[in-house]
Amino acid sequence: RRLELEVARLRDVLDRAPSVSYTCAADPAYDLTSVTTNVRDLSGYPPARFLEDSSFWPSRIHAEDRGRVLYRLKTQQGASCTQVYRYRDAEGAMRWVRDTRRLLAATEEAEEHVAGVWLDITAEKDWEDKFARLNADFEGHVSDRTKMLVQEVGEHRRTRETLGQVIASARCLLWEADVAYLGGELQWRTDLIADESAHRVLSLDLEEGEAWYHASHRARVPEDDARMTETARAALLGGESGYSQD
């Protein structure tokens, strides 16, 4: 009596589980010999449809997957395996199934047979497809943006080269700087468009490793340098868009 209750409890657990449990013969036909009632949740069909007609289960596998699935079962007879394939339910909807089966050796109570599990992974596959599409869209956006940046950098470089050529032939300097106000003083990080112009226009005597802007400070008359620094400081801290001085 206790054994009967335990068997009934186990069967009830299997019938309510999210996966479908089945057994089949250990031969190339793999005819189903049992299947839990929750197969109706997966396929929309009652267990009897699978047990009465051995061709019913493979007939519902997607045509593009059927050959691969049956070929592997035939070539790996006697070996455990897991396959993923599409399965058409009673409503005509296509579901993704993970099918895992294992060969069980014969015992005193039962002949050699195969026990397996069907698990509906449709939701998982849908998320994989959505992620793949999002990833493809993101990579496409990054690729397009990278091409734009490369083009913009190339155009900026060509513009600088053109300006450098113009400036090199004229007695003027074109420069740009990043300026920060630290410790009550302006800190300059300056870049020349054409370095050779500094030597030709200002006739700077650069020391080894010295930047042209530092050399220009050394070359200025002290009174002019102080005035120029104060003019720049007043304009920049005062929010002016530009300033000019001699």
Tens-place pLDDT, residues 190-213: 655 445 566 666 677 777 777 766
Quick one: DSSP state of residue 178?
Answer: E
Q: What is the pLDDT of residue 108?
A: 78
Q: How confident is residue 236, by pLDDT bands cut at 50, 70 and 90?
A: confident
What letter represents residue 191's amino acid? D
Which of 30, 58, 31, 54 has the alpha carbon at shortest distance from 43? 58
- The half-sphere exposure of 199 on its side-chain side, counting CA atoms within 13 A, is 8
Which of 72, 103, 74 has the alpha carbon at shortest distance from 85? 72
* 237: CB partners within 8 A, 6+ apart: 181
Q: What is the mean pLDDT of the chain?
A: 79
User: Which three-class secondary structure state does DSSP give residue 182?
Assistant: strand
Q: What kind and span of H or E run contains 86?
A: strand 81-88
CB–CB of 101/114 below 8 Å? yes
User: What distance in Å separates the CA atoms of residue 205 and residue 224, rounded to the nearest whole number?
Assistant: 19
Q: How confident is residue 83, by pLDDT bands cut at 50, 70 and 90?
A: very high
Which of 138, 133, 226, 240 has the alpha carbon at shortest distance from 185? 226
**Mean pLDDT, residues 133-138:** 80
User: What distance in Å separates the CA atoms of residue 113 and residue 122, rounded to the nearest whole number?
Assistant: 28
Q: What is the pLDDT of residue 193?
A: 45
Q: What is the pLDDT of residue 99?
A: 93
